[in-house]
């Protein structure tokens, strides 16, 4: 059985917690796209951890965690992340890194920062982790796969020479920055090879064998539908596909083996970075929800930046679930809304004098205004409730209204930050 756990919106929906909970019964947990440019926050008996590269099943000692071929791997970041967990005395499972994953180089991080600097007020709000330059090089065929870290010296130096010729032209003529040194880049690649050596494997073979044996495999996505390169709010998107369909490509498993797509949906909206956000709150209304939201407030797990927040957007979420092919939904952070007298839901958009309920492409989206409907709040703390029928009626009405709007069964309701704070319906 292969399940994909993916986000419906802009990311930050709580996928890490849902993956962590389901991973307790999993054999393999696989990151299939993205890199260290975002984070999944896990809270368990050992503390609170922000994972950036490591899959969220890492705390199940019996599970094998995999960074698939669709991931951009920063070797130094990965090693530091593992060390921080081990230094905290936390037991963990085995980790494998695909030999076909892309390597994030130091110059990728530099180019990320240089481009944001060049764009200035027109920047993308990048985390400056080097992900966009890394994936750009992948498709330009000048990136490095993990397996190439162990090439013979002569062919590897030829690859490095070609890359330096291209990059130095840009550094000299576009960014006016220091040039790359071929020997330094070669040595950097070799050092990454040493760092990753204990983890490298032909993971697609391992996962295909596991699927044939009936093992339970979780595919963990990063960010959400609206940040997908093709189907998101382009160009304010991430640099890889965030869709469950890419889970097969980014992990090397047959698409026909993905039997369940769990789409994670937040009970309100939040986003980090620039881009259209129709149901956004502003001012004090935004600040109060930001302060009360998530676990310790709505701030980026990677950057610490305040997240933009707003009302639940049924238009965007319905689209997000459709593009993911959701078979069920996990609704998260419902507990954060207990302070509201009335809770707005964005049920439609107004644009050019008409009302629409289908999520449009970016040029139209940027002109859209929200159409809100109000629902009664429940005005109490629902943390600790384990049975759905014990939730206040107003809370159940809110959950069921969302379910009706998005057209997908809500199978889980998360009402707190801990692993056990999930109501199964």
DSSP labels for 372-405? EEEEE---S--TT--SGGGS-HHHHHHHHHHHHH
Q: What is the largest CA-CA distance in the chain?
A: 70
344 vs 310: CA distance, rounded Å = 9
What per-residue confidence (pLDDT) applies to 43? 79
Contacts of 107 (CB under 8 A, 6+ apart): 133, 167, 180, 185
What per-residue confidence (pLDDT) applies to 15? 92
List residues with catalytic annotation. Answer: 12, 40
Which of these, 228, 243, 322, 222, lies nearest to 13 by C-alpha position? Answer: 222
DSSP 175: I
159 vs 169: CA distance, rounded Å = 16
What are the phi and psi torsion angles at 343 (to 5°)? -120, 120
What per-residue confidence (pLDDT) applies to 91? 85
What per-residue confidence (pLDDT) applies to 124? 66
What per-residue confidence (pLDDT) applies to 112? 92
SS3 of 273-340:
CCCCCCCECCHHHHHHHHHHCCCCCCECCCCCCECEEECEEHHHHHHHHHHHCCCEEEEECHHHHHHC
What per-residue confidence (pLDDT) applies to 418? 86
DSSP 122: G
What per-residue confidence (pLDDT) applies to 206? 98
311 vs 267: CA distance, rounded Å = 8
269 vs 278: CA distance, rounded Å = 10
Q: How far is CA 423 from CA 21, 263, 334, 409, in A?
A: 12, 16, 11, 14
What per-residue confidence (pLDDT) applies to 38? 72
Q: How many residues does the chain have?
A: 425
Tokens of 103: 């390597």
Which residues is 209 bridged to in the sheet?
none
Per-residue model confidence as pLDDT tens for the chain (425 residues): 899 999 999 998 999 899 999 999 999 999 999 998 877 778 777 788 888 999 988 988 999 999 999 999 999 999 999 999 998 888 888 999 999 999 999 999 999 999 988 988 676 666 788 999 999 999 999 999 999 999 999 999 999 999 999 999 999 999 999 999 999 999 999 999 999 999 999 999 999 999 999 999 999 999 999 999 999 999 999 999 999 999 999 999 999 999 999 999 999 999 887 889 999 999 999 999 999 988 778 887 666 778 999 999 999 999 999 999 999 999 999 999 999 999 999 999 999 999 999 999 999 999 999 999 999 999 999 999 999 999 999 999 999 999 999 999 999 999 998 889 999 99
| Burial of 182 from C-beta contacts in 10 A (0-12 / 13-18 / 19+) | middle
SS3 406: helix
382 vs 402: CA distance, rounded Å = 18
* Helix (H) / strand (E) containing 43: strand 40-44
DSSP 215: -
What per-residue confidence (pLDDT) applies to 181? 98
Domains of the chain: 2-88+204-424 (3.90.170.10), 102-196 (1.10.300.10)
Q: How far is CA 175 from CA 115, 136, 139, 179, in A?
A: 8, 17, 22, 10
Answer yes or no: are the C-beta atoms of 260 and 4 closer than 8 Å: yes
Residue with tokens 């026909």: 256
Q: Would you say the pTM of this structure is higher than 0.85? A: yes
CA dihedral over 355, 359, 362, 366, signed as positive or negative: positive
Q: Report the relative pairing of strands 410-414 and 328-332 from DSSP bridges.
A: parallel
Contacts of 170 (CB under 8 A, 6+ apart): 111
What are the phi and psi torsion angles at 322 (to 5°)? -60, -45
């Amino acid at each position: 059985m292969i399940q994909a756990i993916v986000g419906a919106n802009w990311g930050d929906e709580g996928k890490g917690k849902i993956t962590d909970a389901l991973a307790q019964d999993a054999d393999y947990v696989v990151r299939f796209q993205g890199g260290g440019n975002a984070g999944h926050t896990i809270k368990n008996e050992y503390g609170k951890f922000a994972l950036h590269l490591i899959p969220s099943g890492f705390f199940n000692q019996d599970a094998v965690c995999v960074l698939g071929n669709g991931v951009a791997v920063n070797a130094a970041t990965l090693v530091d992340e593992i060390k921080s967990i081990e230094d905290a005395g936390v037991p963990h499972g085995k980790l494998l890194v695909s030999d076909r994953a892309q390597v994030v180089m130091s110059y990728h991080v530099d180019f990320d920062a240089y481009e944001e600097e060049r764009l200035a007020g027109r920047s993308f709000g990048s985390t400056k982790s080097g992900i966009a330059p890394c994936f750009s090089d992948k498709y330009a065929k000048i990136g490095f796969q993990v397996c190439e870290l162990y090439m013979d010296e002569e062919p590897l130096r030829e690859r490095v020479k070609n890359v330096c010729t291209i990059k130095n032209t840009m550094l000299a003529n576009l960014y006016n920055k220091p040039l790359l040194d071929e020997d330094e880049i070669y040595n950097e690649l070799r050092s990454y090879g040493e760092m990753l050596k204990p983890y490298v494997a032909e993971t697609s073979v391992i996962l295909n064998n596991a699927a044939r044996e009936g093992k339970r495999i979780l595919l963990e996505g990063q960010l959400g539908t609206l940040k997908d390169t093709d189907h998101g709010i382009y160009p304010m998107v991430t640099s890889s596909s965030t869709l469950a369909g890419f889970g097969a490509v980014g992990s090397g498993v047959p698409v026909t083996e993905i039997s369940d797509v769990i789409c994670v949906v937040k009970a309100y909206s939040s986003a980090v970075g620039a881009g259209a956000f129709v149901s956004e709150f502003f001012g004090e209304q935004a600040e109060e929800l930001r302060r009360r939201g998530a676990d310790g407030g709505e701030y980026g797990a990677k950057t610490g930046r305040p997240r933009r927040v707003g009302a639940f957007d049924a238009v965007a979420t319905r689209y997000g679930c459709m593009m993911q092919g959701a078979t069920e939904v996990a609704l998260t952070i419902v507990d954060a809304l207990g302070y509201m007298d009335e809770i707005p839901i964005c049920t439609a958009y107004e644009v050019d004098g008409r009302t629409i309920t289908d999520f449009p492409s970016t040029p139209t989206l940027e002109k859209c205004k929200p159409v809100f409907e109000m629902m009664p709040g429940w005005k109490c703390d629902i943390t600790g409730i384990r049975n759905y029928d014990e939730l206040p009626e107003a809370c159940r009405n809110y959950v069921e209204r969302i379910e009706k709007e998005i057209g997908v069964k809500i199978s889980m309701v998360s009402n707190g930050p801990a692993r056990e704070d999930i109501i199964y319906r």
